[in-house]
Structure 1
Amino acid sequence: MQIFYPHSIQLNPYGFPGTDPNDCPRSISKLKALIKNCNNALSPDLHGNYRDARYTERKHHWWWKANYVFHKLEVTKNFTGLFLFLEEDDIVAEDFLFVLYKMQKSANKLCAHCNIFSLGGNLSSLKVNSKRDDNAYSKVQYAAWSSEEHAVAVAFNASTWSEILSCAQDFCTYDDYNWDRSLQHIGETCIKGGLNVLTVKKPRVYSTRNCSYLSMSKANLELGSASKLGQLYPATLKLSSSILKAATKQPIEVMKSGDWSDPRDHRLCLNLAYG
């Protein structure tokens, strides 16, 4: 089933949530914006920049998509299982759904407090020529949600979504246009017990965004080699002991990106949450 985001900048080229002709130029000073009397003169972001619809759309789109699939579709209305979020530029291993199923079934034993699963990794961290751990593809690890580490191939159920939605006010007013950094914020400040991720040591999904053809070739080579060596489809999953200590450390504070200070964006985000 295809669903279509109705608030895109393509559908709104001359007005919010696209760019209104009277919106403040991005880099104008607040004093000049007030003199110009442009729409959002009173609300520059934490870096002093004004709204850029190309950035704000990223958070809006993810938030709309999550709200839509959890609340607006008849087919998912009574579904209590996992929702897996993939991007169109992801490379997936052949066993990615199999591993997700294993993670879900083993979650109580492996990490009872985990409420999010992640199958992904960044191509920038892939080291095909590194020393091979023959058991790496059967290992999982857990940690507090990190926007830098866990935003690829995310899965969670309606119960976790309800916890996220209960923090809509904090999510929708946090001055960062990245949905994953906004999730990290509410995980650290709003959700009781936080957002805790069970993730695979060897990614089953790689994001190809901003990566070269060579990097994508490395991902395919890595996954192809694992398949030939019979390392995919693990019979059981085990916690990676080398990661357990690291998972107990306090989350690293991420600098906010800004570009999310306009009250119009806050209102649209909250309207999506509350119907």
Structure 2
Amino acid sequence: MSSSKEVLFTSIRDDNDDPGGMLHPGRSQIQLFFPLTKQSWGILYFSLREEKSRRRIFKRKKPKKEKKKDGKQQPPTNTQSTFRSSPSSAQSTTSQQTPPPAQLRDPAAAPGSRRGGAAAAAMALHHRARLRSRAAPLLAAVVLAVLALVSLLRASHGGAGPAPPAAAAASERAAARNRTAAQRKILLDPSFTPRLPRQGALSLSLAARNALPPRNAGRFPGLPDGHLKIVLYVHNRPRYLRLVVDSLSRVDGIGEALLVVSHDGYFPEMDEIVKGIAFCQVKQIFAPYSPHLFPDSFPGVAPGDCRDKDRAAEKRCRGEPDQYGNHRSPRIVSLKHHWWWMMNTVWDGLEETRDFDGHILFIEEDHYIFPNAYRNAQLLVDLKPKKCPQCYAVNLAPSDVKAKGEGWESMVAEKMGNIGYAFNRTVWRKIHAKAKQFCDFDEYNWDITMWATVYPSFEAPVYSLRGPRRSAAHFGKCGLHQGQDSSNVCVDNGAGAIELDAIDKVPNIKADWPVHIIRKQPGYQAGFKGWGGWGDRRDRELCLSFAYMYHVKDTSSA
């Protein structure tokens, strides 16, 4: 078969296309563009059969002429016998032979016209067989050229067509091997031994659910190149969550994304709302070490723990107070624990995201997402390397949660906000390297911790690129730690609907806009000492253990 392939390629090769002799002799340029599929080999095979049949038919010796009788040449007794091929080639040529003309089949035809009609029919049959046998290799070359063109177009558009399973698996293995230096560079303290709480039945069952594949994968089978992954982190505000899910269902392009919903604790109503999502791929993860899953032990309330402003020496209780003399409150420290566990799990733990180098968009359950949010986020991600190479992230809204945007005809670079923020793995590695600073800072809010201690340690302004109009809005009035018990229930129903203009429903960022940099802004900065709530040594150790749990094989259980 290899020799036949070489013959065909030689026949369709044009040496003028390779003036420098850069291609191998006897091979077509088509070979460089795409692999021959089963269909291509089939076309090639049958074309070669036609070629061989043609050569056997027309290269054999001509039939001897019959002797003349009475001084005249006699016509052949059987016109069809002149073009009968050998038995080995009959099967490939029979279906292409044309029946003889009517006068050859009609016994009543006039004798005088019989000789001329037979000759004409023979000549016509000869030309038809000749044309058909020559057309087959040409047709095969055309089909192969079309396949090559389609392959090139697919490659130039990022692989629009589905790849064969073997090729897809090889591509995934190559992506895993070719991780960036930022992915491999993990800074760990060898003197620290991570310790995670001993899990109960509920914690173990939720951890098992974290390994389940995304739902709706059959309805949305492929995530295109350039897509964003979205992480929605929630606690226990079902009214808020319904509004957020409804807003996400109206977002243009949401079907291209993977939505990861991270739960702080387990609440059946919240679980059911997420299970009802049908507009994209969705994966649920549950923080298995959430204080809400440990009612009688750390990180929940453990017997013998100090509370409020207890003095440990007098009460003989356990725990270290914060800088204001207050002992830990599990429902408050859960804010920072959940965010830090989620970040480490999404970037380094989940199978669906741990090899993903692109931008991941993070939103909360009290963020209303506009219809143009996804497309605007994609535009900002694409423009950031050229328009704002010093920017670390992109944002869907101003850092001032009450602001709607300036409405300028320019993009804005300012300090990173906490509403709809997205960054890539390189930025995550810089954040992860500051785990010690993050976990030791006496502040129970993750965002204030980042502004006051982590970002300033980067030794350069941490700018985020956004549009002049917001694409997400903060609508909640209840804090994340409210609404957890019957004595202190947050009753805000999120009825304050967000009004959208027509421009908020379509992408409204232009690539030719300049970037306006806001260099000085009010808010939390380096030097702020924190609001406290994070003074207990156990919380700091658990926080640091989350940074190690996917990079250390064995972790001890407290």
Q: TM bucket by the smaller chain?
A: 0.7 to 0.9
The 2-side partners of 1:231 and 1:54 are apart by 37
- Structure 1 residue ranges (4+ consecutive) displaced by more than 6 angstroms after TM superposition: 211-215
8 Å Cα contact 2:371/2:505 also seen in 1 = no
Q: 1:88 aligns with which of 360, 365, 382?
A: 365
**Residue matched to 2:507:** 233
TM-score when normalising by structure 2: 0.42
The 1-side partners of 2:332 and 2:415 are apart by 26
Q: 1:34 aligns with which of 282, 297, 313?
A: 313
The 2-side partners of 1:124 and 1:151 are apart by 8
Name the SS of the counterpart of 1:117 in structure 2.
strand
8 Å Cα contact 1:24/1:38 also seen in 2 = yes
The 2-side partners of 1:54 and 1:266 are apart by 15
CA apart distance, 1:121: 5.0
| Within-5 A mapping of 1:11-160 | 11-28=293-310, 32-40=311-319, 43-120=320-397, 125=402, 135-136=407-408, 139-145=410-416, 150-160=417-427
8 Å Cα contact 1:123/1:216 also seen in 2 = no
8 Å Cα contact 2:373/2:471 also seen in 1 = yes
The 2-side partners of 1:5 and 1:114 are apart by 30
In structure 2, do the counterparts of structure 1 residues 153 and 73 end up closer, same or farther at CA, with 3 Å as the change threshold?
A: same
1:127-160 deviations in whole A, cap 9, x for unaligned?
7xxxx97x54x64311233xxxx11111111110
The 2-side partners of 1:13 and 1:189 are apart by 37
8 Å Cα contact 2:370/2:505 also seen in 1 = no
In structure 2, do the counterparts of structure 1 residues 231 and 140 end up closer, same or farther at CA, with 3 Å as the change threshold?
A: farther
Identity of aligned residues (%): 28
Q: Which amino acid aligns with 2:347?
A: F
Q: Does 1:162 align with 2:429?
A: yes
Name the SS of the counterpart of 1:115 in structure 2.
strand
Name the SS of the counterpart of 1:86 in structure 2.
strand
Q: Does 1:272 align with 2:533?
A: no
Q: Does 1:200 align with 2:479?
A: no
CA apart distance, 1:188: 4.2
CA apart distance, 1:215: 7.5
The 2-side partners of 1:270 and 1:255 are apart by 20
Gapped regions of structure 2 (runs ≥ 5): 1-282, 479-491, 550-558
Of 182-191 and 58-67, the range deviating more from structure 2: 182-191
CA apart distance, 1:69: 0.7
TM-score when normalising by structure 1: 0.81
**Residue matched to 1:262:** 536
8 Å Cα contact 1:164/1:191 also seen in 2 = no
Q: Does 1:181 align with 2:441?
A: no
CA apart distance, 1:126: 5.0
Q: Choose 1 or 2 for highest CA Rg.
A: 2
CA apart distance, 1:13: 0.7
The 2-side partners of 1:71 and 1:6 are apart by 16
8 Å Cα contact 2:372/2:504 also seen in 1 = no
The 2-side partners of 1:183 and 1:122 are apart by 13
Q: Which amino acid aligns with 1:157?
A: N
